[in-house]
Amino acid sequence: MSSSSIPQLSSSSSAHPSVPLKDLEKLAGQSNFLRWRSTIQKVLKYQKVVEITKNKQETPTTDVEADALEMKNLQALLTMQATISLDQQYLISECETANQAWTNLHDAFDRQNTISSFYRMRLMHDQDKQRTIPYLITFFIRFMKTMSLRLLCSSHLSIPL
């Protein structure tokens, strides 16, 4: 394969060589998200577009600013898209900004977000359950059954045969 056919994205500065994206690990899902995120953040930083992924951008006031913002968004979006497996493309294919794409990927695959969301939902569910009268009645009945069985067992053990 000739070097001219290698898919590369150039950085915004012509003084810097391009980064060969084909050699980077593709995002497959939650299993490699942390590694991918670390690598892609470095690539985006090198390309001077990492900030556009982290923050929502203000609406430009001039055509020149609008064009520059669009180019940065395209640079970041194409870089992310080139390093994501085909199975995950649906998460960012409709995004118009790099920030939207980054947020979608982060929400979908960041393990801490997923675990935190699970435990928050579980906690809310448990709190709701504990507030209901039927749950409290059921809990009390089970508790009384357990205590009566313990008393019964202990009284049988103390009676000589």
- pLDDT, position 127: 62
Q: Please, are residues 99 and 56 in contact by the beta-carbon 8 Å criterion?
A: yes
pTM: 0.60
> Longest Cα pair distance anywhere in the chain, in angstroms?
98
Q: CA quadruple 132, 138, 141, 146: dihedral positive or negative?
A: negative
Q: What is the pLDDT of residues 87-128, one digit of tens each?
A: 999 999 999 999 999 999 988 888 666 555 555 566 666 666
- pLDDT, position 161: 46
Q: What CA–CA distance (Å, rounded) separates 144 from 138?
A: 10
Below-50 pLDDT ranges, the chain: 1-14, 159, 161
What does each C-alpha distance from 87 to 76, 81, 99, 105, 126 come to in angstroms? 19, 11, 20, 13, 35
What does each C-alpha distance from 22 to 84, 86, 108, 154 come to in angstroms? 11, 14, 23, 71
Proportion of the chain in helix, strand, coil states, percent, rounded to 5: 70, 5, 25
Q: Please, are residues 111 and 30 in contact by the beta-carbon 8 Å criterion?
A: yes
Q: What CA–CA distance (Å, rounded) separates 20 from 43?
A: 10
Q: What CA–CA distance (Å, rounded) separates 90 from 108?
A: 12
Backbone angles phi, psi at 61, to 5 degrees: -100, -15
- pLDDT, position 86: 92
Q: What CA–CA distance (Å, rounded) separates 105 from 88?
A: 9
Tokens of 103: 């947020």
